[in-house]
Amino acid sequence: MDRSERKLERARELLDGGEPSLAELAAAVGISASYLQRRFTARYGLSPAEYLAQRKLGTLKSALREGNDVSAALYDAGYGSPSRVYEAGAARLGMTPARYRAGGAGEAIRWSLIDTALGRVLIATTQRGICMIELGDDDGELEARLHTEFPKAQLQRVDAGRDEFLGPRVRAVADALAGRRAEVPVDLLGTAFQKRVWDALMRIPKGETRSYAEVAASLGAPRATRAVASACSHNRMAIVVPCHRVVRGDGSLGGYRWGLPLKERLLERERAA
Kindly state which CATH superfamily the domain 3-101 is placed in.
Answer: Homeodomain-like (1.10.10.60)
CA 210 centroid distance within chain: 18
Identical fold, 3-101 and 108-177: no
- The catalytic site residues sit at 243
Question: Is-contact 25 11, C-beta < 8 A?
Answer: yes
* Alpha-carbon gap, residue 242 to 213, rounded angstroms: 16
What pLDDT shows up at residue 91? 42
What pLDDT shows up at residue 89? 44
Select 192-272's CATH number: 3.10.450.50, 2.60.40.10, 1.10.10.10, 1.10.3370.10.
Answer: 1.10.10.10
Select 108-177's CATH number: 3.40.228.10, 1.10.600.10, 3.30.160.70, 3.40.50.200.
Answer: 3.30.160.70
Question: Is-contact 42 222, C-beta < 8 A?
Answer: yes
Query: Do the strands 210-211 and 246-247 form a parallel or antiparallel pair, or are they unpaired?
Result: parallel
Per domain, the residue ranges of the chain are: 3-101, 108-177, 192-272
Give Cα separations from 167 to 25, 47, 127 (angstroms): 52, 41, 13
pLDDT tens, residue by residue, 110-165: 999 999 999 999 999 887 788 899 999 999 999 999 998 888 788 999 886 677 77
> pTM for this one?
0.63
DSSP character for 185? -
* Of 155, 169, 187, nearest in space to 114 by CA: 169
Question: Is-contact 55 16, C-beta < 8 A?
Answer: yes
Q: What is the mean pLDDT of residues 97-115?
A: 73
pLDDT tens, residue by residue, 181-213: 888 888 877 777 888 899 899 999 988 999 999
pLDDT tens, residue by residue, 22-73: 888 899 999 999 998 888 877 766 688 877 776 666 666 665 656 555 555 5
